[in-house]
A and B are shown apart, each in its own frame.
Chain A
Amino acid sequence: MVYARTLGGKTYTFQVSGKLWRNSLIMQDRETGSSWSHVTGRAIDGKTKGAQLEKLEAVETTWELWYAAHPDTAVLEKSEEVLASHYQEYFDDPKRMGMFRAQWLTEKMSGKTLVYGVAIGPHAVAVTDSAVAGGNLVQVDLGGTPVVVSRAADGGVRAFIEGSDGQKLGSVAVTPVYWFAWSNFYPNTKVVE
């Protein structure tokens, strides 16, 4: 996820708090020491409690697809070669989820299913990989707002609000996330499989 880190004229810098909430990262800003959820961008504790960072449109994809679609891209410089994820075994093991039991993990699908989460306020949907396969457009109503979710040529899954004539009215951030985590944050989420 990518967040705008300026809020109310104040720019925050974030560090890794070392804390987990709902099995996910809590970011801590250096300016006030407040705790922010990595999943929602909301300050859950501290001086800024209740503040909401804007989640920007960003995607997870492969280098190959990204570079082909964005040949002018800049890339974060590596100080040393990194040849794999430290966590591949974790990714590959369907039984390993969070360290702590998720409160609202449901039986709808395997907890390690990767979903694309979209939320407008409390209204949320989890869209699976297969739902957006083959360029398929997923249309869903989020609290009265029509939203379309699809995968683009660069491999990224994006969402936009659809106008009455099918036009794009604005983008909505997509959160690629394991089902067990998404269902913990949004227990009433819709699911499109």
Chain B
Amino acid sequence: MRRLIVVVALIGLALTIPAKAQRPKPEVVATIGGDDIYQVLPVGAIPAIDDPSFVSGAAANAQMSPGEPVLGIVLHGEARAYSLWQLDAHEIVNDEIKGTAIAATW
């Protein structure tokens, strides 16, 4: 996903703000499959959405740009869209569609 590495960009931003001496350094916390795992932010620093609210397409249309990227899913005949601009700040939505628990991720 395009945003896969967006966290990385976010970290990049975070790292450029404080003075150089104060920059937190991403720490290697494990190595799996030959690739390091870096801890770059505290857990939950980017808050997932646990109790999502939804509006109708017509209502959303007033707030959405035509070219705004969305993550869309149709499950059990029900269509849902999540603005990716909005998900930049959350990355994960713990959601449920007609009894199926899903995680919409970006």
Chain A residues with CB under 8 Å of chain B are: 1-6, 11-28, 35, 38-39, 44-45, 53, 56-64, 66-67, 70-78, 81-87, 90-91, 96-100, 103, 114, 154, 156, 175-178, 181, 184
Contacts and interface: CB of A to CB of B under 8 A. Distances in A.
A60 B103 contact: no
Contacts of B57: 67, 70-75
B42 A2 contact: no
What 8 pairs across the A-B complex have the smallest Cβ distances?
A18-B41, A75-B60, A64-B66, A70-B79, A90-B9, A73-B79, A74-B54, A99-B8
Contact of B54 (A66, A71, A75): A75
Q: How large is the interface on B (under 10, 10 to 19, 20 to 34, 35 or more residues)?
A: 35 or more
A82 B74 CA distance: 24
Contacts, number: 259
Given A58-B72, A96-B9, A25 B105 contact: yes
B101 A6 contact: yes
A106 to B, nearest CB: 16
B69 A15 contact: no
Interface string B58-78: 011101111111111111001
13 contacts: A3-B103, A16-B47, A56-B102, A57-B73, A64-B66, A72-B79, A76-B80, A76-B93, A86-B6, A86-B89, A87-B3, A87-B9, A181-B4
